[in-house]
Amino acid sequence: MTLQDYLRVLRRSWWVVLSLTVLGALAGLVVTVAATPTYSAQATVYVSVSGDESPTDLSTGQSFATQRAITYADLAETRTVLERAAATLGRGTSVNDLRASVAATAREGTSLIDVGASGSSPEVVVARADAVADALTTEVPLVDALGPTSPVRLSVVQAAETPEAPESPRPRNNLVIGIAVGLVLGVAVVVVADALSTRIRSTTDLPPAPGLVTLTSMPTGPKKRSRHVSRTDARLESFRQLRANLLFGSDVRDTIAVAGVTAASDAQGVARQLAAAFAEIGSNVVVVDVDLRTEDGRRARPGERSDAGPPAPGVADVLGGAAKVDDVVTLVPGEKVFEVPAGRVDASSAQRMSTPAMQKLLDELREPFDYVVLACPPLVERSESAVAAKLAGSALVVVESGVTKRTEFLLALELLAGVRVTSVSVAIDHVREQDLGGGRTARSVPLDEGGQTALPSTSDRSHPSSAL
């Protein structure tokens, strides 16, 4: 993946990153509130050696004190020192309590010992640090005494001070860490989910497949306009682009089958809008509804009501010999497009599409109309869609962005290849703006015979410029 791919993925799923970042921040705040405050205090002990006042004696004594400071720091955590400190503190303080909360360290290269204490009460930690420091200054001369008096002297040079704020938790640090962890986790989740996803969102997600002629991305369209957005409707313009792709970039002649990969694709809507785009350039267009599934096997068609009464005669009636073609062609109200409804469908209507009656129906429609658009049922669900595509000679496969899977798309192409449909175009419907690459209205990608991106060829395709 390139940097642009990562940015595209993040733009698409920004809400996931934002949600996990907010959760991380909330987790940091919860940890801060739930954690018990911990205070720390420190007392400093100075180690010195008494002796002659000559420079040599002073240097030797200082060197001795520095070396012994390390031993005395370890001695501060022994039972003898801690028992003396516990006796000074009283109030039920035990040696184990001091051992768990007090630590002593010698400063490197000096004769200073830091006695630190930590706990949940600032007054208690100050008392414990001072008590252990005092106990150490008392016990060390007794341990190192070589005679009646010890040459080693320890003195507290800095008593512990009451801390004003707890050492932990630190709200700002926890908040920053929570935000950072949530942000990193959100980005990781989005990138991994995109890498594992098999759904097709844009042309870049399509698997390599031979036989594809053109690819067109059709956006949903902006929900509201701004002064930075063109006043041209993005979705309407994408169907004009689709029309141009089919006219100049494919082998579409007079008939095209429009079929969704699955029921999630609105092939009926795409077929009608494509027909309207052809009608804009003065072509006579008829939309033929060949979705001949029975009521329990199909979803309701646009504008269809369950209480509208019996359906009007249509394709099923013509195939069954109950009606003639001229009797089922009607003009769509308010448009320059004609239509042939599915008609009165029975259990055998879909199977009649494989009979000569279907070819005769198409031949009769091609005479008065420039383009015949077949609105087919889903390819992977109904075999008659592949039959319609073969009879039409070309197919437009509608992929629903973010819903159709790669495996379903490849199965649809396999079904078309099985009936030897050689002209297959793909339209990815309802592509979100961030997947179009900067909000372009439509994206057309002509392909070569191997299914790879190529420049459009003008030597082997006829250009119906008269239609424009």
The CATH number covering residue 92 comes to: 3.30.70.1130
- pLDDT interval class at 311 (50, 70, 90): confident
d(CA 339, CA 356): 21
Same domain for 384 and 257: yes
Q: Establish if 180 belongs to a structural domain.
A: yes
Same domain for 93 and 22: no
pLDDT at 442 over 80: no
When divided into structural domains, the chain yields a total of 3
Q: Establish if 361 belongs to a structural domain.
A: yes
Does residue 183 contact residue 21 with C-beta atoms inside 8 Å?
Answer: yes
216: Cα separation from own chain's centroid: 24
Same domain for 238 and 119: no
Does residue 242 contact residue 274 with C-beta atoms inside 8 Å?
Answer: yes
d(CA 400, CA 262): 8
35: Cα separation from own chain's centroid: 33
Does residue 468 contact residue 247 with C-beta atoms inside 8 Å?
Answer: yes
Q: Establish if 270 belongs to a structural domain.
A: yes
Domain range for 391 is: 201-301+308-467
Return the C-alpha torsion angle 205, 210, 213, 217, nearest 10. Answer: -10
Q: What is the CATH number of the domain that holds 442?
A: 3.40.50.300
Does residue 255 contact residue 366 with C-beta atoms inside 8 Å?
Answer: yes
Same domain for 390 and 280: yes
- pLDDT interval class at 463 (50, 70, 90): very low
Same domain for 294 and 147: no
Same domain for 14 and 121: no
Same domain for 82 and 56: yes
pLDDT at 453 over 60: no
pLDDT of residue 296: 59
> CB-based contacts of 397: which residues, under 8 Å, 6+ apart?
259, 260, 261, 379, 409, 412, 413, 416, 424, 425, 426, 427
Same domain for 229 and 107: no
Lateral strand order in the sheet of 39-49? 102-106, 112-119, 39-49, 152-158
Tens of pLDDT, residue by residue over 250-292, are: 777 889 999 999 999 999 999 999 999 999 999 999 999 999 9
Q: Establish if 164 belongs to a structural domain.
A: no
DSSP type of residue 405? B
Average pLDDT value for residue range 355-382: 93
Kindly report the pTM of this predicted structure.
0.63
Average pLDDT value for residue range 389-404: 92
d(CA 6, CA 17): 13
d(CA 465, CA 468): 5
Same domain for 433 and 381: yes
- pLDDT interval class at 368 (50, 70, 90): very high
Q: Establish if 163 belongs to a structural domain.
A: no
d(CA 444, CA 239): 11
**Length of the chain as a residue count:** 468
